[in-house]
Each structure stands twice: as structure tokens, then as C-alpha cells.
Amino acid sequence: MPPRKTPTERQRRLGAELRKMRTAAGLSTDYAAGLLGVDRTKISNIESGVRVITPDRVRTLACNYASNNSDYIEALATMAGSRERGWWEQFRGTLPAGLLDIAELEWHAVRVQTSQVMHLPGLLQTEDYARSIFEAVLPRLPRLEVELRVAHRMQRRQVFERSEPLDYVGFIHEAALRMQFGGRSVAKSQLNYLIEMSERPNILLRVVPVGTGAFPGAGHATLYAEGPVRQLDTVQVDSEAGPDFIHAESQLIKYRTHLDWMDTAALSAAHSRDFMRTVMHDL
């Protein structure tokens, strides 16, 4: 199979995990190449996500790297064997690749937690609310791209409609609830939609009131996607250049601590729903 031109974040992550195992075992790319009977440059390409690797070859490498974490190895083998074309691929070449990587991350996650300060969660935005956000981007986006981004954002909701809906926890700061993107009518409809979705058993929304004061991560939104094993958790944060994906263990620990703080500080689900109703009625 020919090399990929532009591997996805998930494909790069698989390669990074294989590299991590190899270097932890103190083994060279030449050694890995000998195990698979390939040229050493192909190992480098596999570890960068450019070249495909089969599940059986993942197991071969892991065994010879002396990794004994069977759950971790099988999770990597599943990543290698996942070749289906996701719905987000229809936007390939028309939207930034980072947006597609977010959709793929959410689709394969076991659970997603987010922390929002200014915007409401992307997975729970209405069309009009999302459109108002994309129309405020500078420099202004062409009308077609705005509509493509809105369509992509709406399709991300598929994680809640499939046979096994995604478990989702959203921490929302009061400031985000009160921001009137799109005007009062759009904001009111958006809040009503949030309240409706919060009644689903797999969706937990928690509000952090402004009276809480200072809190960690106040300057940015965070998406924490839990993988099938903890080693495959991923954090996504926004930057000026697009989404950044983080999976270094020290950083994962930091963001887990951040979400633990939010869990302690936020209102209960029932009180959060009442709070959202109050904000909606104040509009």
C-alpha cells in the first residue's frame, strides 16, 4: 500500500505510540525493520503515520518490544485495523484537516469531557449559534466555508445518535451561557437546546458560576477524549493556527487535574439545568 500524503491525527498517534514503545525498549529502527522484514525507512514512515501497518504487525512489534500491557496492545491493533471511511472524510479538501481530526477523535473516544469559557460546546451548538461564531472570524471566511463549517459541526452530533451514544460531560462557565452570539433570539434557542440535551442519560452538563472566581484553564477551551486505555487519552485545545492535540502523560495529568477541579466547583446537573433556565428566561 502506498504511503499516505497527509496522515490524520489518529494515524500519527498510532505511529507515535509505536515509536514510544520502541525507544522505551532501547531498540533501534534497524531492529524493528528486521522484525518486519522491511527497510528501516519504512519503520520511520510507520512511526510518523505516513505508512500503514497491520494489526498483526503491531502485535509483533509490541511482543518484541517486551510490552506486556495486553489492553494497550489490542487498542493499538484496533487503531491499525480501523480502515473505514468516516463521515468527516466528505469534507476532506474543503475544510482544514484539524477540524476533521477533532471529529475523528470524538468518534473513537470512549468518553469526552469539555471545559468551555466563552463559547458553548461545539457538539451541542445549534446551526444559528455556530454560524454566528464562524461569521465573526477575522479575516472573514467566504460564505461557502462558513456553511461548510456549520454543516460539519452539525454532523459531529452523530456521536449522540449512533447505537452506542458517546458519554459526554460538559463544564460550562456562566460567561459562556450569557454570551449572546447571534443575538437574543439565537441565544435563547441555543440555551433551550442545551437544556433539552442535558436530559439525555449520556449527556451531563455542569455550570461553573461566575461567583466561583478564578479557575484553572480560564484562557481557553479544552476537549479531553478518553481512549480505550488511559495511555491513549488525548487533549485538544485551540490555537491561532488551528487545533493542537496533546498526549504527553505530564500534560494529560495536568488536564485531568483541571477537569477534577471543575467537577468539584461546578453545580450539580439538576442545579445547572435550573441555572440555564434562569439565564434563558432573563433574555
- Please give the Cα distance from 279 to 283 (Å, whole number): 7
How much is the mean pLDDT over the chain?
95
One-letter amino acid at 53 equals I
Of the candidates 10, 5, 4, the residue with the CA atom closest to the CA atom of residue 245? 10
Question: Residue 208 pairs with which residues in a beta bridge?
Answer: 173
What percent of the chain is modeled with pLDDT above 70? Answer: 98
pLDDT beyond 70 at 39: yes
Output the nine-digit C-alpha cell for 56: 498483526
- Please give the Cα distance from 161 to 152 (Å, whole number): 15
Q: What is the pLDDT of residues 91-137, one digit of tens each?
A: 999 999 999 999 999 999 999 999 999 999 999 999 999 999 999 99
Looking at 1.10.10, 3.30.160, 3.30.870, 2.160.20, the CATH number of the domain 90-282 comes to 3.30.870
pLDDT beyond 70 at 1: no
Q: Model's pTM, two decimal places?
A: 0.94
Of the candidates 69, 65, 50, the residue with the CA atom closest to the CA atom of residue 18? 65
Query: Distance between terminal CA atoms of the chain?
Result: 57
Burial of residue 64 (CB within 10 Å: 0-12, 13-18, 19+) is middle
3-state DSSP assignment of residue 202: coil
3-state DSSP assignment of residue 28: coil
Output the nine-digit C-alpha cell for 224: 479531553
Name the residue ranges covered by the structural domains of the chain: 9-81, 90-282
Burial of residue 5 (CB within 10 Å: 0-12, 13-18, 19+) is exposed
* Angstrom distances, CA of residue 24 to CA of 18, 62, 64: 10, 11, 12
Of the candidates 32, 34, 8, the residue with the CA atom closest to the CA atom of residue 18? 32
Q: Looking at the domain that runs over 9-81, which CATH code has it been given?
A: 1.10.260.40
Interval 213-221 mean pLDDT: 76
- In this predicted structure, what is the pLDDT of residue 3? 63
The one-character DSSP state at 25 is T
Name the band, by pLDDT with cuts 50, 70 and 90, for residue 82: confident
- Residue 269 φ then ψ, to 5°: -60, -45
pLDDT beyond 70 at 36: yes
